[in-house]
Amino acid sequence: MNICGVLVHALPEKGEAVAAAIAGLDGAELHDTVPDGRMIVTVEDTGDNSAGDTVLALHRLPGVLSAALVYHHFETDEAIESNSRNSGE
């Protein structure tokens, strides 16, 4: 499990186009936007892309001024499995 929280800041006039582009990125989910161009996005690893590659792709979207990593959580599959066994799930 690899999850990143990213604050994307886009040109306000490009906000809708950037939001649409984010929706098209595998592993990215847009959670909220504000009229000044700020967007809250989560990014996860997928079978084809790492979360890091997707965060870099956010930087390269036309109209994006910045994409700042504000949260990161990584857990190995073995740790998740162990936690599930220990919690009785």
What are the residue boundaries of the structural domains of the chain, listed by start? 2-87
Distance CA 29, CA 4 (A): 11
Residue with tokens 């079978």: 47
Residue 82: predicted pLDDT = 61
Could you read off the pLDDT of 32-75 as tens digits, one per residue? 999 999 999 999 999 888 999 999 999 999 999 999 999 999 88
* DSSP 8-state symbol, 27: T
Residue 5: predicted pLDDT = 97
pTM of the model: 0.82
Distance CA 82, CA 84 (A): 5
Under CATH, which architecture does the 2-87 domain have? 2-Layer Sandwich (3.30)
Residue 76: predicted pLDDT = 74
Residue 48, φ and ψ in degrees, nearest 5: -105, -25
Instruction: Label residue 3 exposed, middle or buried (CB < 10 Å: 0-12, 13-18, 19+).
Output: middle
